[in-house]
Amino acid sequence: MRVMIIGGTSGIGLALAGHYAQQGAALALCGRDPARLDGHPIAARAGLRRYGFDIGERQAVFDAVGDFAEEGLDLLIVTAGQYAGADALVRDRMCSLPMVRTNVSGLCHAFDAGAQAMLRNGRGQMVVVASIAGLLHEYPNGSLYSASKRAAIAISDAYRKALAPHGIDVTAVVPGYVDTQKLRDLNGGSAQRKPFLQTEEQAVRRIARAIAQRDAHCIFPWQLHAMVRLFNLLPKGLQRYRKK
C-alpha cells in the first residue's frame, strides 16, 4: 500500500503516518518544513519519502504527488490546514486569504493531483481531515475558519460524486477537538477545557477505521456532533452570542 499524507509532519497527519507505518505501507510525508521530522522515530523508516512544499502552490503539489505516484498511489490523506481566530483576523486582516488558500484552494490542488494519479490505475482513495466546525451553518458573526471547513467538506462531496464511476473513493473526516500540540499551543499550553477532547490515539483509531471501510463521512465524537446540530436549530438572534 502506498500512502501520501499532506500535512504529515505533525499532529494528526504524523499520528496517522505512524499507524500506516505499522501496517507496512510505503509512506510519503509532506509539509512546509519536512525537517520537522528530524529526530522522530518515523524519520528512520526505510524508504520514507519527504516532500517540502506549500499546499497553496498548485504546481508544487502536482510535482510532489506525481513523483511519489510514479510507483502508484493508493491513499492520499490531506491533513494540512490553517487556523486564525476572530481576534487574529481583527489584528491582521491579511490572515484571511492564506487560510482560504490552504484550507480550500490547497485541498483542490491536492485532490486534483491525487485524482490524476489514481485515474491511471482506476482505483484509490482520497481523504480530507476537516473539522466539526465545518458542520456549523452560516450564522451571524460566524467564523471564516468554519466557512473554510464547510467548503472542504463540500469539496470532498463533489469529488466523491465525480470519481465514484472511476473506482476512486473520497472520505471526509470531521473531527471535534483532538489533543494535538497545535491545539495546546492555541490554548495556552493545555486543551483540557475543550469539550469531549479526544487523544491523538483515539482519533487515529476512528479515522483509520473509516478509511478502511471507505466511509463517505467520519464525524466524531457524537456528543459534539449533537451539540452542533442543536446549535444549528437555534434562532439567528441567539446564535450571534456564541463565543468564538
CB 125 within 8 A of CB 214: yes
Please list, in sequence order, all residues whose beta carbon lies within 8 angstroms of the beta carbon of residue 102, skipping any fewer than 6 positions away: 54, 55, 56, 80, 81, 82
Q: What ranges in 102-221 are assigned the alpha helix state H?
A: 106-119, 144-163, 181-186, 200-212
**Residue 100: per-residue pLDDT:** 95
d(CA 104, CA 12): 19
What's the grid cell of residue 9? 509532519
φ, ψ (nearest 5 deg) of residue 54:
-95, 125
Does 56 fall in a domain? yes
Output 190-196 pairs: Cβ under 8 A, ≥24 positions apart: 195/223, 195/224, 195/227, 196/221, 196/223, 196/224
Model confidence over 117-146: pLDDT tens digits? Answer: 999 988 999 999 999 999 999 988 789 999
Containing domain of residue 17, as a range? 2-239
244 within domain boundaries = no
Find out whether 68 and 6 touch, Cβ atoms under 8 Å.
Answer: no
Please count the CA atoms within 13 angstroms of the CA of 68 that sit on its side-chain side.
Answer: 29
Angle at 136 between CA 132 and CA 142, to 5 degrees: 115
> What is the reported pLDDT for 129?
98
The answer to whether residue 229 sits within a structural domain is yes
Max distance between CA atoms of the chain, in angstroms, equals 57
Question: Does any domain span residue 164?
Answer: yes
Q: What is the pLDDT of residues 87-112, one digit of tens each?
A: 667 677 777 899 999 999 999 999 99
Residue 232 has pLDDT above 70, yes or no: yes
Residue 58 neighbours by CB under 8 Å, 6+ apart: 105, 109, 112
Residues in the chain: 244
**Residue 76 contacts residue 4 (beta carbons within 8 Å):** yes
Which CATH number characterizes residue 151's domain?
A: 3.40.50.720
pLDDT tens for each residue of 15-55: 999 999 999 999 999 999 999 999 999 998 888 999 999 99
The total of structural domains in the chain comes to 1
What does residue 44 show for φ and ψ, rounded to 5 degrees? -85, 0
Average per-residue pLDDT in the chain? 93
In a domain, 69, yes or no: yes
Q: Return the DSSP state at 178.
A: B
Query: What is the pLDDT at residue 243?
Result: 66
CA–CA distance, 18 with 39 (Å, rounded to integer)? 14
Residue 194 counted as domain residue: yes
Asked whether residue 50 is assigned to any structural domain, the reply reads: yes
Mean pLDDT of the region 175-201: 92
- Is pLDDT at 244 greater than 60 in this prediction? no
Q: Does residue 218 fall inside a structural domain?
A: yes
